[in-house]
Amino acid sequence: MYVCLCQGITDSHIRTAINEGCCSYRDVRMTLGVASQCGKCACVAKQVVRETLSDIHSSQLSSAYPAHFVAA
């Protein structure tokens, strides 16, 4: 879905930027230029960044301990 019409940025662009090393909304904004024109997309862009970082964090936690892991 398009997040920033002014720059033609989609949610996929934002997720890719995060997967390639951006670790904050500020990084994504500087890398892609999202919310640099009219700013109407800022809330949605921030939401996509938060969700993507949360998903990455959750997947890292779940892969740190296998499903069969039992703490002693």
Q: How many other C-beta atoms can be found within 10 angstroms of the C-beta atom of residue 17?
A: 21
> Hey, where are the domains in the chain?
2-64
Contact, 18 vs 55, CB < 8 A?
no
pLDDT tens digits, 9-66: 999 999 999 999 999 999 999 999 999 999 999 999 999 999 999 999 888 877 766 6
Q: Is 69 helix (H, G, I), strand (E, B) or coil?
A: coil
State the architecture of 2-64 in CATH terms: Orthogonal Bundle (1.10)
Provide the whole-model pTM: 0.83
